[in-house]
Amino acid sequence: MKFPKDFVWGSATSSYQIEGAWNVDGRGPSIWDAFCQIPGKVFNNETGNVACDHYHKIKEDVVLMKAMGLKAYRFSISWSRILPQGRGEVNEKGIKFYSDLIDELLANNIEPWVTLYHWDLPLALQLEMDGWLNKDISDVFAEYAQICFEHFGDRVKHWITFNEAWVVSILGYGQGVFAPGRISNAEPYLAGHHILIAHAKAVKLYREKYQFLQKGKIGITNNCDWREPLTNSKEDKEAAERALEFFLAWFTDPIYFGHYPKSMVERLGERLPEFTREEKEMLMGSTDFFGLNHYTTMLASEAKEVEQGSVYGNGGLSEDQDVNLSMDPDWELTEMKWAVVPWGCRKLLEWISERYNYPEIIITENGCAYDDRLINGEVNDIKRVEFFEGYLKECSRAIEKGVNLKGYFMWSFMDNFEWASGYSKRFGVHYVDFNTLERTPKTSAIWFGNFIRTNS
C-alpha cells in the first residue's frame, strides 16, 4: 500500500455520541435529547446524557489519540452548547470547552477537523422554526457558523459544514427513525434543500470574511454506500446509477453543477424544490474538498416489483427510485448487518472522481461494528484489523488509478452512543466501559497507529 506523504490520517467522533454533560455549563437541549426521551425510539431507551463523558475527559482522550499516532481528529461542535437557544446569547463556557479541546489537540500535534452540524439541532429551533423545514434556518445556521469561525478559526484549518445531510433528511424527516422523528414523502426533499442553502451561506461567509486571513479550507461531508448492478443488464445498471444519484448526487450535484440530478427532477416533480439563480451561484463550487463517509455495498436491480427479501430503495424514499437492493450471501456482515466489501469503496471513489472531475477526496468516516469481547483487558480484534486492511488496500489502488484521495478518518475513535441503536453497536477502536468510563486500547488501535506511522 502506498499513500502520499501529505496524506491525512485521523479518527472521528460526533458531539452527542461522546460528550455527555447534556445539561452542564449552560448547554441547551438538542432534538436528540428530546428524541431519546420518547419510549421505544432508542434501543433500551438509552440516551447520550453521559455517553463517554468526553466533556470531562479531554486530556485523557487526547492522550489516547496521541498513543494511537493520530495525525488528525475530526469532531463536531454541539450547536446548543455554543448557543443554548440556537441563536442569540453565546454560552461562553461552551466556547471555552471547544477552545480547550482545540488547544490540547494542537499541543499534541493533532490537527483539528471541525464539523459544525452532526444531527443535533438545538431543540428551540425545532420548536420555534420547524427545524430544517423552514428556509430561514439557513441564516440562523450561518450566524452560528460565524461564531465558530471567529472563536476557533485562528487554529482550525479544516471545516465541515454538515455531516450526512441524507441521514438528516431521510431518517429524520422521511422515515422518522432519527430525530426529529417525522414521517413524510415530501419533507425530506425540503429539509435537504434548506441544508444545502445553509451550507452555501456558511461557505460564502467563510470565504468572504475569514478564509484569506485564517488560511483554512471548508467543505461538506456526505455519506454513500456503493451500488453494484446485480446483473450486466441495462436495466440493472441504470438502477444502480439511479440509486447513487438519489443517495449522493442529491447533495453533491448542486455543489458541482448547480442543479439536482436529472433522475430526481423527473421522478419527484413538485416535491423537489428549485434553487433561485442566486442560490445556484452560491452553491456552485462551495466546497474545497469532497468529504465522504462510506461503510458498505449493496447489489442494485430494477424494481419491476418488490422482490422477496430485498431492501427496497435504500438511499432515498422507496417509492421514488424503483430499485431493489440485496446482498451477496457470501459477503461477511458486521454487527450492523452491513456487508464488508472493500472493492465497493474503490469503485465509489472512482465514480465520484469521474463524475466530478477528480476533486480532492477525504474519507471522513469508514469503519465497522463488531461484538467485541474484552478478555484480560484486551480484545483480539482480528475482524476490525482485517476490515481496515482491506479497505485501505482498495484506497491505495484507487490512488494508483488516479483518484485524488488525500485523507482517511476511521470511525470511530472510541465506542459511543450509536443513535437509535443505543450502546449495542461497537464501532470504536477503543473499548469504553460505561460503568467506570475507563478506556482501554484495543489491538486494532495499536495496528492502526503502527500502520499510519509506517505509511505517513
Residues annotated as catalytic (active site), given as ranges: 164, 365
Closest C-alpha among 174, 177, 196 to residue 185 = 174
Place of cell 446524557: 49
Give the single-character DSSP code of 336.
Answer: T
- How far are the Cα atoms of 323, 395, 396 from residue 68, in angstroms, in the given order? 41, 21, 21
How far does Cα 266 stand from its chain's mean position? 28
CA distance 306 to 23: 46
Cβ neighbours of residue 202 closer than 8 Å, sequence gap 6 or more:
116, 141, 142, 145, 161, 218
Question: Strand pairing of 297-302 and 405-411?
Answer: unpaired
Residues 164 and 223 sit within 8 Å (Cβ to Cβ): yes
Between strands 111-117 and 72-76, the pairing is: parallel
Region of residue 127 (left: phi > 0; alpha: psi -120 to 50; beta: else): alpha
Which residues are documented as binding site? Answer: 17, 118, 163, 295, 411, 418-419
For the chain, how big is the Rg over CA atoms in Å? 21
Closest listed residue to residue 265, CA positions, set 255, 254, 277, 279: 254
CA distance 70 to 11: 7
Closest CA to 331 of 226, 180, 416: 226
Binding residues for substrate: 17, 118, 163, 295, 411, 418-419
Cell of residue 393, nine digits: 488496500
Instruction: Decide: 344 and 350 in contact? Cβ < 8 Å.
Output: no
Scan for cell 421505544, then name that residue. 40
Where are the strands (E) in 36-133, listed by range? 72-76, 111-117
